Structure 1
């Protein structure tokens, strides 16, 4: 089972004759493998159910493959001072002909899955994390919870919008990539990093193709090259920030610092990574997160304070007896400390 899953092999691999030529593992059927997978799934669900607190957050992401749309749902909560991100579900979103990809279908999927497998109410989760698409924003509205937008998605949209200002220069490079005998490195609409790779490849090839008579008419001019070099430098900064965003230790405060520093050099990106951009679903909530993480709770506005009430916890009150015991203990510790200092001092001369 571990071999098939970790190597991303088809399930019939366990019955393949060639497989057993090179292994001494016991032969099993696909049916046995299915039962084993189901047993592991049930065990994992029991563990997640035991660990998940009453209030929690959810991280969701969807993707399509062969006309089938899948939804992955991660939990988000703290246990023993450590953040936990289990995977409660990864399954097709639509299970009947009447289903669609609307926010209502997502809500039905979450409600049924959480109650059936984990005995949790969908109304008990505190926040959701995901792309800033309409469906996720609508889902957050239906549940009356804040949506923490994916910061990598913010950055990608900002860069894609930035590319519109230099679209003609990028088109020139893209057309040139097709005219060389080498395998072209092209930009893709879904990943801005592909444009960075394309421009980087262009300047690596430029010194070899600038004297090629067949390509002379297709080469960008000096002014275009200057703009492209500047763009490459700008994208290098964006790339460094994008890479840092993938780290598991990055907080929303770190993100705000990185984005603000990036905006100092690239103001056009403010349309999507500014602190109060229109794409942010819950601006008061996200601004409050940053201030709390920065230790600036005194600077919270009324709207920001109200957005954090769902996260408030009641501190345990110390009883009078416990307070007296603590005071007595503290007094004795001070006496013992003074006595220890006195006995360790210089000897008496009397």
Structure 2
């Protein structure tokens, strides 16, 4: 695969490109730095397949999977071991990247009737600055830019007790997330969340995190107030969308458009 050109340089036979390792002087063979062994590559591809396509761990042991995959077989137990290894490595990297103090942003999403919570760490990182400021124009608002703002995903998961979506469960999730990355409660300056009662309860408790309400939510409240003059047509549209969401209604709708009916939601903006 490689042809040696010099002590520190090798020629890749497939694309004829030269490869040089900065660590060559410390190794007898530079290929050990440049080439990933087959077993490692095989494990990585299994992990990537399962994670990116959101498959169950049992997927790797199915007969049809083994029959149609060009990858070497792997057991569910082995896959889980390496996935947990990736998790621990990622957790250590996140803890290393976080500064001494930061802010957090919380958001929720429902998928297949399961509600998930995402917690992001937000902080200033000068290393995030790349390139120049965008061109000046009448449609460009420079005050919205922060070229050194960085987001790190800390957790994306359902609550431990799925049936309990109350403030205490969310409070425990924040505390557990901080403990996993070895960060005390005091490292968080404030949290940015929606203006619902649950989040306000967390922000108002003694010793709790200061709360910054979601600006988009406040904008939605202003729009909702403005739309009160159009209650009659909006009510009719909502009734139509309700009928079109039925099996028969969707079949009729597909004759004229590929769009799907969407019901009015007080928190959708």
TM-score (norm 1): 0.47
* Partner SS for 2:183: coil
**Of Structure 1 and Structure 2, which has the larger fraction of its residues in strand?**
2
- Alpha carbons of structure 1 residues 75 and 176: separation in structure 2 relative to 1, 3 Å: closer
Residue 124 of structure 1: how far off its partner (Å): 2.1
* Superposition deviation, residue 49 in structure 1: 0.9
Query: Could you tell me how far 1:170 is from its partner in structure 2?
Result: 2.7
Deviations 1:315-346 (A, max 9, x none): xxxxxxxxxxxxxxxxxxxxxxxxxxxxxxxx
Structure 1 partner of 2:79: 33
Q: Give per-residue Cα distances to partners, 1:98-156, cap 9 Å, x unaligned.
A: x94333332233223312x2211112210111111122222222345442322333333
Q: 1:163 to 1:81 in 2, by over 3 A?
A: same
C-alpha contact 2:178 2:184 (8 A) present in aligned 1: yes
Structure with greater helix percent: 1
Which sections of structure 2, spanning at least 5 residues, go unmatched?
Answer: 1-46, 129-148
Go from structure 1 to structure 2 and tell me whether the alpha carbon gap of 1:23 and 1:66 turns closer, same or farther (over 3 Å shift).
Answer: closer
How many residue pairs match? The answer is 191
Question: Are residues 1:119 and 2:119 paired?
Answer: no
1:158 aligns with 2:247: no
Q: Which of 116, 122, 125 does residue 79 from structure 1 map onto? A: 125
Counterpart for residue 224 of structure 1: none
C-alpha contact 1:58 1:128 (8 A) present in aligned 2:
yes
Distance, in Å, in 1 between the alignment partners of 2:237 and 2:253 is: 14
Task: Quote the residue 1:138 is aligned against.
Answer: 201
Any unmatched runs of 5+ in structure 1?
194-241, 243-350
Residue aligned with 2:93, SS:
helix
For the aligned residue pairs, the C-alpha RMSD in angstroms reads 3.2
Distance 1:176 1:91 in 2: 35
Rounded Cα–Cα distance in structure 2 between residues aligned with 1:69 and 1:174: 25
**Structure 2-normalised TM-score?**
0.59
Q: Do 2:107 and 2:118's aligned partners in 1 also have CA atoms closer than 8 Å?
A: yes
**d(CA) in 1 for partners of 2:80 and 2:170?**
27
Q: Return the alpha-carbon distance in structure 1 between the equivalents of residues 237 and 264 of structure 2.
A: 15
The verdict on how the C-alpha distance between 1:131 and 1:43 changes in structure 2, with shifts beyond 3 A counting, is: same
* Partner-residue secondary structure (3-state), 2:100: coil
* Alignment check: 8 A CA contact 2:194 2:214 kept: yes
Structure 1 counterpart of 2:158: 92
Preserved CA contact (<8 Å) 1:174 1:186: no
Q: Report deviation, 1:173.
A: 4.2
Q: Could you say which structure has the larger radius of gyration?
A: 1
**CA distance in 1: counterparts of 2:239 and 2:231, whole angstroms:** 12
Return the alpha-carbon distance in structure 1 between the equivalents of residues 56 and 72 of structure 2: 18
Query: Could you tell me how far 1:176 is from its partner in structure 2?
Result: 5.6
Q: Which residue of 1 aligns with 2:253?
A: 182
C-alpha separation between the residues in 2 aligned to 1:123 and 1:172? 50
* 1:3-42 equivalent positions in 2, closer than 5 A: 3-42=49-88
Question: Structure 1 172/62 Cα, relative in aligned 2: closer, same or farther at 3 Å?
Answer: closer
Q: Does the 8 Å contact 1:69/1:94 carry over to 2?
A: no
How far apart are the structure 2 equivalents of 1:147 and 1:42? 30
